[in-house]
Amino acid sequence: MSASVTVVVTRPGAAGRTLADDLGRAGQPALWLPAFEFGPAPDQPHARAVLASLAGFDLAVFVSPQAARAAAALLGAPWPAGTAIAVVGAGTRAAVFSSVEGAAHARVLPARDEDIRGSGSESLWPALQSMQPPPRRVLLLRAQGGREWLAERLEEAGSAVTPLSVYTRLPFTPSAGLRARLAAAAPAGLASAISSSEAVDALARMLGDQPELWRALRRGLALASHPRIAERLRAAGFERVGLCAPEAAAIIASLQEGGG
């Protein structure tokens, strides 16, 4: 680990702030530059109405921790035990159990933390394929947009999928102070922890008016939590890209291995 390199953490919400704080406590300089801010559901009355009919769905899929927290805030009753729950990633599983009333009484896929392999939709798909009987009606809880990969796989398998936006992702505008701190850290080197493919485009828009800073970020080590994100980083011109779990210890180890 090099104390001169600053890690730019793009994960939004409390998880991103916590990750940046954890890095700092471990002696690794870090700055929290969230790719997005979270806002309310684009149509809250509609979201509440659909969630009120949860018992009519065989399965509900939470695609992120924020989806779990946002849906919980919109629920008017405990989770119906007959509606199974699927989660994308360990963080989402934890958020479901901590925020969704009644979730502990429902079937949850994957069943155990140790059964979760990775953080993408692809890692959840084998567990969904094993469901017997296959889910006929599936509710997909997400932001106002996102990847359609999982919905397409479910529909190909015969499920009727209802996407429901329970929160929005809004552009983040860094303050002048944060921009100044990034610019001051750039000469000594920047690394980045990238939490989603969309975050790559968000960074390009955010730093488009500071081309020197954008170039400095792309020269440094970029750590992606999924191969799909790594591909997007390379396409955006990042010169050094690696795969890494979005955890402080893993990021620090990757910096050491990559000479960061």
- DSSP string for 75-134: -SSPPPTTSEEEESSHHHHHHHHHHSTTGGGS-EESSSGGG--SSSHHHHHHHHHT-SSP
CATH topology classification for 39-168? Rossmann fold (3.40.50)
DSSP state of 144: S
Q: Which pLDDT value is given to residue 22? A: 96
CATH architecture of 6-35+172-258: 3-Layer(aba) Sandwich (3.40)
Tell me the pLDDT of the chain (260 aa) as tens digits.
456 899 999 999 888 999 999 999 999 999 999 999 999 999 999 999 999 999 999 999 999 899 999 999 999 999 999 999 999 888 889 999 999 999 999 999 887 665 556 556 777 888 888 888 999 999 999 998 767 888 898 999 999 999 999 999 998 999 999 999 999 999 999 999 998 888 999 999 999 889 999 999 999 999 998 888 999 999 999 999 999 988 999 999 999 987 54
Q: Which pLDDT value is given to residue 252? A: 95
Residue type, 162: T
Q: Which pLDDT value is given to residue 3? A: 60
Which distant-in-sequence residues (6+ apart) come within 8 Å of 119 by Cβ?
Answer: 88, 89, 90, 91, 225, 226, 246
**At 69, phi and psi to the nearest 5?**
-65, -40
- Is the fold of 6-35+172-258 the same as that of 39-168? yes
Q: Which pLDDT value is given to residue 122? A: 77
Strand 36-40 versus strand 167-171 pairing type? antiparallel
The domains of the chain are located at 6-35+172-258, 39-168
User: In terms of DSSP H, where are the helices of 130-258?
Assistant: 149-156, 176-185, 197-206, 211-219, 227-235, 248-258
Q: How far is CA 189 from the centre of its chain?
A: 25
pTM above 0.95, yes or no: no
Return d(Cα 54, Cα 100) in angstroms, integer: 13
DSSP state of 55: G
Return d(Cα 179, Cα 174) in angstroms, integer: 6
Burial degree of 171 (CB within 10 A; 0-12, 13-18, 19+):
exposed
Among candidate residues 7, 19, 32, 231, the one with its CA nearest the CA of residue 120:
231
| Number of residues that make up the chain | 260
